[in-house]
Each structure stands twice: as structure tokens, then as C-alpha cells.
Amino acid sequence: MQALLLQALPLQALFAQTAFAMAQQDVRFFLNGVRFKIADETLSIAATDGHRLALAHSPEILDPTLTHCVILPRKAVQETIRLLTKPEDIHLQITQQHCQITSTQFQLTMNLLQGQYPEVNQLLPVGDTGY
């Protein structure tokens, strides 16, 4: 189990910036959520439905020993956006099958989606594209 301590409003902003690109009822079930990745001391959240792509990074520096990549389901992301309204610390715990977000006001537990999320960083151009 990996546990994180994050600020609520920046996390809500990351989810809000990417939620529009989640698939709604795709047969590729892993696209019906967001990729929540912790690596290289940063948190990145990505969503795609096969046509749109959204990627957001947290400005917070995280513990360098933490690494995880999970897929959070669409409904849980939408509820998290709705519930995170106050500036407070939240605890996020990730296991193989579940993710739990705990604040002073609520506790939200979700089942993680299983599958291999597309590697979105390979889809983005690197360097000067001439635009």
C-alpha cells in the first residue's frame, strides 16, 4: 500500500483539467477513466477517449521513492471533483485493486480499472514543432 498526502484543490484542478477527455462507454474499458501516475517525483494525470487527449502535471514535489501507475474510474473522478471543494490536506492510499481518498469531510473508496493505459507521452511532440 502506498500513501500520499496531497492538497485538495490542486488535485481537484488536475482532475478537472483532464476529465473532459475520458471516454464514456468505450469497449476499451481502460479508457473510461484517467491514468494516475506517480513517477520521477511528480504526479501526472492523463485521459483520452481515442480522439481527445488531456495531460496535467502537479507542481508539487513528491517523495522520490513513490512510483505507481493506476487507472481511476470515470465516476470516481467525477465524484472527487465534486467533493474536493475546500483547501485541506487529503490522504490518498493506493493498493493493487483499490484507491481511497480521505479528507476531514469524506472517505471515497474506488475499485481501480484493470488494463494497460496507452503511453500518452509518446503521442505528444517533443521540442520545437514550428507552430
Which residue carries 521513492 as its cell?
Answer: 65
More confident residue, 3 or 123: 3
DSSP state for residue 110 in the 8-state scheme: E
Single-letter code of the amino acid located at 74: R
Give the Cα separation of 94 and 18 in Å (integer): 20
| pLDDT exceeds 90 at position 26 | no
Starting at the edge strand found earlier in the chain, the sheet holding 2-7 runs 2-7, 89-94, 98-102, 107-111
Render pLDDT for 1-21 as a digit per residue (tens, 0 to 9). 678 889 999 999 999 999 998
Confidence of residue 130 (pLDDT cuts 50, 70, 90): low
Give the Cα separation of 58 and 43 in Å (integer): 5
